[in-house]
Amino acid sequence: MKTLIKNGRIVTAVDDYLADILIEDETIAMIGKKLDMQADKIIDAKDRLVIPGGIDAHTHLDMPFGGTTSADDFRTGTLAAAHGGTTTIIDFAIQNKGQSIIEALDIWHEKAAGKTAIDYGFHMIVTDLPHERLKEVKRMIHDEGVTSFKMFMAYPGVLLVDDATIFRGMSFAGEHGGLICMHAENGVVINEIVQRALAEGRTAPKFHALTRPTKAEAEGVNRAIALAEMANTAVYIVHLSCYDALKKVKEARDEGIPAFAETCPQYLFLDYSAYESEDFEGAKYVMTPPLREKWNQEELWTGLRMNDLQVISTDHCPFCMKEQKELGRNDFSKIPNGGPGVETRMSLIYNGGVVAGRIDVNRFVEITSTAPAKIFGLFPRKGTIAVGSDADIVIFNPNKKMTLSAKTLHMNVDYNCYEGMQVQGVTETVLSRGKVVIENEKYVGKPGDGKFLKRSTVQLKHREPASAVR
């Protein structure tokens, strides 16, 4: 099968030029001016950006959490991702305490197999890592293609692991080419503050945010980086939300320490005021870390520009207001933590980043696709447009506008955090390994088009993978 994409403006993390692309079966076979060979399908990309498919390195599909299960499964979540211009997700499998990591991975494979619209990989959330389990980590990295592991400093009694476990995991994973992704918040102190608030009758959603100070996140980031330094390895901070935490990453990077971090659209576009309504609406935004005071947003954009933040992921973890968020109506600590986002990431970042003049179009591609591909062992198969790479390609209309709404988006959740917001920049057509899965904004694929990706090991060095400090 041959597909020609003609007349497009190809944008990668480093290039921006007009050319045509020939796809043969699943890969990019040729890039050049005025390609005119026979093809089974021709796509006219005039006045469109032709960009590498987005990579969302942080999703939680079909995940049991907070007494319920995230509302998108691997079918609906990846279909929504495709609509939004994302062609790869890396989702989090969870090892329960006492469970074999291999068994946990098998469960997540079962959840996803045959259902996805796009390719997917797994990180493994590790909740229990005695010495005798380390061989399972080795097997994950070398045989199963799961090369990154999330550890939690938060959620005591559920997901939190102690510093000894974190240090053990970092040392061992680092030695074998794996990477620890850290949920960096001092969960033990937060728990103390939460219990105090509840005892004083403070039960509304806003107290979720008021009981999770930015200093608790900064302390977690600082500790994670120190532990990684002692373990002589890199660390990746997930869902970084505020300036206090960013400062710790920046200080480390300025010293040459291989600390990496992602932020998410919610921390760039939403703020603490979302919690303030007197009714239960604030529950929509109960996520961890919480939304911060608005002034943090421009600091995060500066972090993205200066490469102190390398990646935009979503932390997509949706729960419906009806029945799910409702579990915490009388107690904010029982509201399932998380929000939807996998479908809106690319348009939000294009609009708030490129259209608003905060980042250029190359940096947009880099933080939404190329950098996560490089950090998580998918590059150059994913994350760029180059001969030999998978033909994961998004035809993106940079001028078209749309209004975000739960009614028209495809995520399986009954609200959207950005309801009514107008954005410029719309995903029109999406190819996943050469197959058109979204055509003129309509899904034309089928569940099972996506395949599991075994990821490679990566030796992360300071300042990689970004091309330059801007």
Measured from the CB atom, the residue of 89 and 317 that comes closer to ligand URP is 317
274 is an interface residue for ligand URP by CB under 6 A: no
DSSP 402-432: EE--TTTS-SSSS--TTTT-EEEEEEEEEEE
Distance CA 363, CA 466 (A): 9
Q: Choose which of 6, 9, 48, 60 interacts with ligand URP (CB under 6 A).
A: 60
Distance CA 12, CA 28 (A): 14
With beta carbons less than 8 A apart as the criterion, state whether 318 and 271 touch. no
Measured from the CB atom, the residue of 86 and 241 that comes closer to ligand URP is 241
Which of ligand URP, Zn ion, none has residue 337 at its interface (CB below 5 to 8 Å by kind)?
Answer: ligand URP
Longest dimension (CA), the chain: 73
With beta carbons less than 8 A apart as the criterion, state whether 50 and 385 touch. yes
The residue with tokens 């040459």 is 256
Judged by CB under 5 A, the stretch of 26-34, 119-127, 310-318, 362-370 that binds Zn ion is 310-318
Q: Choose which of 123, 183, 433, 455 interacts with Zn ion (CB under 5 A).
A: 183
Q: Choose which of 85, 338, 352, 425 interacts with ligand URP (CB under 6 A).
A: 338
Backbone angles phi, psi at 91, to 5 degrees: -100, 165
Backbone angles phi, psi at 52, to 5 degrees: -65, 140
324 is an interface residue for ligand URP by CB under 6 A: no
Helix (H/G/I), strand (E/B), else coil: 63: coil
Backbone angles phi, psi at 5, to 5 degrees: -105, 115
With beta carbons less than 8 A apart as the criterion, state whether 445 and 432 touch. yes
Site string for Zn ion, 43-82 (x = CB under 5 A): ----------------------------------------
Site string for ligand URP, 297-316 (x = CB under 6 A): ------------------x-
* Alpha helices, H only, 176-242: 187-199, 206-210, 214-230
Residue 194 CB, shortest distance to ligand URP, in Å, is: 14
Helix (H/G/I), strand (E/B), else coil: 394: strand
287 is an interface residue for ligand URP by CB under 6 A: yes
Q: Choose which of 12, 78, 127, 337 interacts with ligand URP (CB under 6 A).
A: 337
Which of ligand URP, Zn ion, none has residue 182 at its interface (CB below 5 to 8 Å by kind)?
Answer: none
User: The tokens of 121 are what?
Assistant: 């990989």
Subset of residues 172 to 211 that bind ligand URP, contact rule: CB under 6 A: 183
Subset of residues 132 to 161 that bind Zn ion, contact rule: CB under 5 A: none
Measured from the CB atom, the residue of 122 and 396 that comes closer to Zn ion is 122
378 is an interface residue for ligand URP by CB under 6 A: no
315 is an interface residue for Zn ion by CB under 5 A: yes
Distance CA 21, CA 5 (A): 5
Subset of residues 234 to 263 that bind ligand URP, contact rule: CB under 6 A: 239
Which residues would be at the binding site for ligand URP (CB under 6 A)?
Answer: 60, 183, 239, 287-288, 315, 317, 337-338
Which residues would be at the binding site for Zn ion (CB under 5 A)?
Answer: 183, 315
